[in-house]
Amino acid sequence: MKSFKRLSVLLCITLLISIIGVGCQKKEDNNGGKEVSNDVQKENNEETNKKPVTLTFVLWNEVGYEYLTGINSISEAYKKDHPNVTIKVEQIQPTEYDNTMKIRNSANQLPDVFLVRASNLLTYKEIMVPLNELEATKSNNVALDYALDGNVIGIPQGAFNEFVYYRKDIFEKYDLEIPKTWDEFISTANTIKEKGEYIPLLLGGKDSWTTYPFNEFMPLLQANDGKYWSDMASKDEPFTKGEPFYESYLKIKALYDAKVCGNDPLGYGWDQQKAMFLAGEGAMLAAGQWFAQEYDTMGGNKDEDLGIFVLPVRESKDEPLNVITTAEGFMGTPKTSKNIEEAKEFINWFYMSDYYKEYVDYTQQLSTMKDVSADIPFFNQAFEGVDLEYVVYDAGNEEYKKIADTISFDVKGMGQDMLAGIDFEKMMSDMNKKWKDARNK
C-alpha cells in the first residue's frame, strides 16, 4: 500500500513537472525565436494552401528554352518560393514568333507572360500591364529608357552586342588579320574568295531576317545614333546621297556586289547557314552575342573554333568603332491574363532572384540588372585595344512606326533585294518618294 502511495506521488510529481515544463516552453516560444519559426511555418502553410495557378510563359529563344525547361527548370525553382504556382514554358520558332503572337493577340489568347521584341514594343503598348511599380523595374538599367508614355510594359531579359564570328583555322591558314575598316572587311572576304575553298561570309538570305546585322543596324552605326529611325521620320527624303541611310547602304552594296556570300545566298536560310559554319564550310558569320551559346549547343566549341570582332563600319582606323547594343526580350504580361498579380510576382522574382544571373550566364547575354554582371569572358577579345562607341538600339518613335507601316518599310527585305542585284539608285529614289508621300498624308 505504501509502495502504491509512493508510486502515485511520483506520478503526480512527474505530471506536475511536465505541465510546468510545457508552460515554460510555451512562454519561451512566445518570447523567443521559436515564434518566428512558427510565423515562417504559417506563411509556408498559407503559400501551400493558395489556389493552384498555372502561368503560361512563351518565348522564342531556343537556348533560353533549353535552360528554363531542362538545365535549370524554372518551374521547379519557382515552386520553392511559390508552391501553388506551375510555370508552363512554350517556345515558338524565332521565324514564326512575331506572327504567331499577333494572331494570338487578335484572338485574345495571349499567354500570361511572354517576351516582346524591342522592335514590337509599340505594337503591344495598349494591351500590356504597366510594370512601373515592380522592384525589378526599378533595379533595371534600361527598362525606363524603353518606357512608352511613361509606362514600362516589359523588362528586357538581356542585352547583346553584335559581332562577326570567324573561324580561327581559316584565318590562320591564310594568315589573315582582323579587319579594322569597311574596305579591309571586304578585302578580307575577297582574299578568302580567291582561294576558292570556303564561302567568305555565310549569309542565308532565304530567311530575310539574317540580313539584319547589315541592313537594319548599319544605318544606325553610320549615323552613330541609336534613335536614328526616329530622326528619319523628321525628314522627307532620308534615302538621299549623304544621308546615313544612303551611305550605309552604299557600303552594303559594295559587300553584296563582291559576291562573297556564296553562289546563291538567297538559296539557303539560317539553319543551313549555321550548319555550314559549324562544318567549316564558311569563314565568317555576322550575328548577335546570342549565337555563341547556340554554336556550342550545336556541337561546336566556340573557345577553340571561333574568334570575334566588331563589324568595322568605318572608313578610317582613326574613327571610333561603333557597336550596336540591343536590349531584347521584354518580359511582360497582357491585360487579358486571368492571373495578372501572379504573373507580375513571377516577373519580379525572375529578375530579383539568383536565378537571373544563372540565366544570363548560360545564355551569354549582358545583364540589364543593376549589381548583376554576367560571366562571359569569351567576348572580351572583341574589345581589347579598340576605341568603342556604344550605339543603343531604339526601334523608332510612333511617327516612324506610322510611316513604316504605311509603306511596309522592310529593311531586311531590302537586303534580299540587294543580294538579288536590284538597281540601287532606283531603289533609293523610289523609297524617297514613298517616304515623302507617307509623311505628308
pLDDT of residue 43: 60
Write the burial class of residue 289 (CB in 10 Å: 0-12 exposed, 13-18 middle, 19+ buried). buried
pLDDT of residue 42: 60
Segments of the chain scoring below 70 in pLDDT: 1-48
pLDDT of residue 388: 85
Cell, residue 208 = 530575310
Task: For residues 185 and 311, give the distance between their C-alpha atoms in angstroms, rounded to a whole number.
Answer: 8
Q: What is the pLDDT of residues 367-402, one digit of tens each?
A: 999 989 888 889 989 988 888 888 988 889 889 999
Q: What pTM was estimated for this model as a whole?
A: 0.73
Cell, residue 16 = 506536475
Pairing mode of beta strands 155-167, 282-288:
antiparallel
Q: Among 438, 433, 361, 427, which residue's Cα sits nearest to residue 399? A: 438
Task: For residues 323 and 80, give the distance between their C-alpha atoms in angstroms, rounded to a whole number.
Answer: 40
Task: For residues 377 and 203, give the distance between their C-alpha atoms in angstroms, rounded to a whole number.
Answer: 26
User: Which amino acid is it at 381?
Assistant: Q
Task: For residues 332 and 294, give the distance between their C-alpha atoms in angstroms, rounded to a whole number.
Answer: 25
Task: For residues 357 and 373, give the distance between their C-alpha atoms in angstroms, rounded to a whole number.
Answer: 7
Q: What is the pLDDT of residues 9-30, one digit of tens each?
A: 444 444 444 444 444 344 444 4
Task: For residues 126 and 134, give the distance between their C-alpha atoms in angstroms, rounded to a whole number.
Answer: 19
Please check whether residue 385 is in contact with residue 218, taking contact to mean a CB–CB distance below 8 angstroms. no
User: Which amino acid is it at 106?
Assistant: S
Q: Among 431, 376, 380, 377, which residue's Cα sits nearest to residue 403? A: 431
What is the b/e burial string over 337-354, where b = at least 16 CB atoms within 10 angstroms of the residue's CB? bebeebbbbbbbbbbebe
